Amino acid sequence: MANDSSRLRISAVNDVVRIDFVDRDILDEATIRQIGQDIQRKLEPMTAPKVLMCFGVVEHLSSAALGTLITVNSLVKKKGGTLRLAEIRPEILEVFYITKLNKHFSIDESAEAALKALA
Amino acid sequence: MPARIEGHAILRGPRAEIDASQTAVEQAMAQHGYGREALFAVRLALEEALVNAIRHGNRHVPDGQVDFRWSVDGDEARFDVRDQGEGFDPDAVPDPTDDDNLEIPSGRGIMLMKAYMSEVEYRDPGNHLAMVYRKSKGA
C-alpha cells in the first residue's frame, strides 16, 4: 500500500498505517487542513486502525498542527484503534510537554519502538 | 556587534507575508548572535501571534490588516502585533492544560507564546500584543 499526498508519506507496515511528514515546517493553516483531511480520508474506511505518525524531519509545528493531531487521535479512538507518535525532535517534544499533550498521546522515541508497541 | 535592527510590515493574510516577516526577524536575530533555541522560541511565538491576529483578531474586519513592528539588538528582541479587531480578554481563554480541556483541538497559542517568550502582554482592548524575548532566557 502506498498513498502519497503532497505533504505526507503514507505506507503500510504489516497492519500498521505509518504516516511520515515530509515537510520541516507544519505551520501553514491550509497545509495543516490538507494533512488532516488526507489522514481522515485514509482512516475513514478502517476499523480499529493502528496508526504510527513519524515526525523525523519536522522542525517546527504550530498550535494548529497540534489541534489536527488531537482531532486525528479522537478519530482513531472513536474507531477503537491506537495512535502512537514517534521520532519527535527534542524541541518539538518540549512543546508536547508544555501543553501537557504528552499525557494525551502515546509517544515513542523511535518508529521501531512504536511499531513494537502496536504489534 | 551590529546596530539595533528594526522592521515593520503590514500583513493582510497570505502565508508568504508571514514567512517573509519570520525570515527577516530570524536573520536579524542570527546577526545578533541568538542561538538555535532562541530562534525556535521566537519563530513559534511569532507564528501564533501573527496567525491569531490575522485569523481571529481581524475575523470580522473586512480587508483587515495586522501592523507588525519588531526590533532586535544584542540583549533582546521586541515584537508588537496590532490587529484591527475589537480585542478579547486573554484571561477568559480556558487553560488548555486542564485535564478536561486536553482533547479540545484549539486554544494553545497564547500559552505557547507565554512559555517561550520572556514577556507577553495583551494591551487593552486585547488587539495589541507586545512580546519580548531576552537573550538571557535561552542560547
> What pLDDT is stored for residue B22 in this prediction?
97
How far apart CA B61 and CA A40 sit, in angstroms, is: 32
The reply to whether residue B105 touches residue A91, judged by beta carbons under 8 angstroms, is: no
- Residue B119 grid coordinates: 514577556
Which pLDDT value is given to residue A1? 43
Q: Is residue A23 predicted with pLDDT exceeding 90?
A: yes
Model pLDDT for residues A57-78, shown as the tens digit of each residue: 999 999 999 999 999 999 999 9
CB–CB of A29 and B55 under 8 A? yes
Q: How many CA atoms lie within 13 A of A73 on its CB side?
A: 21
pLDDT above 90 for A106: yes
Q: What are the structural domains, with CATH classification, of chain A?
A: 2-109 (3.30.750.24)
Helix (H) or strand (E) holding B19: helix B15-31
Q: What is the torsion angle, in degrees rounded to the nearest 10, for the CA atoms of residue A10, residue A102, residue B118 and residue A24?
A: -10
Neighbouring CB atoms inside 10 A of B98's CB total: 10
Asked if the C-beta of A35 comes within 8 angstroms of chain B's C-beta atoms, the answer is no
Phi, psi of A23 (to 5 degrees): -105, 150
What does the block give as the cell for A110?
A: 523511535
Q: Using a CB-CB distance cutoff of 8 angstroms, which residues of chain B are in contact with residue A98?
A: 111-112, 115
pLDDT score at A2: 43
Find, among A33, A102, A86, A21, the residue nearest to A58 by Cα.
A21
- Chain B nearest CA to A41, separation (Å): 19
Domains of chain B (ranges; CATH) run 5-137 (3.30.565.10)
**Number of C-alpha atoms within 13 angstroms, CB side, residue B134?**
5
In the numeric block, which cell numbers belong to residue B41? 522560541
Beta bridge partners, A18, equal: A11, A52
Single-letter code of the amino acid located at B110:
I
Residue type, B113: M
DSSP A14-64: TTEEEEEE--SEE--HHHHHHHHHHHHHHHTT-SS-EEEEE-TT--EE-HH
Helix (H), strand (E) at residue B119? strand B119-123
pLDDT tens-place values along chain B, 139 residues long: 689 999 999 999 889 999 999 999 999 999 999 999 999 999 999 999 999 999 999 988 889 999 999 999 999 999 999 999 999 999 999 999 999 999 999 999 999 999 999 999 999 999 999 999 999 876 4
From the list B47, B102, B111, which residue is nearest A104 (CB)?
B102
Max CA separation in chain A (angstroms): 36
Q: Which of A23, A100, A101, A105 should we substitute to test contact with B (largest number of B Cβ atoms within 10 Å)? A: A100
Chain B CB within 8 Å of residue A101 CB: yes
C-beta separation of B55 from B85 below 8 A:
no
| Interchain CB contact of A40 with B (< 8 Å) | no
Residue with cell 496508526: A51
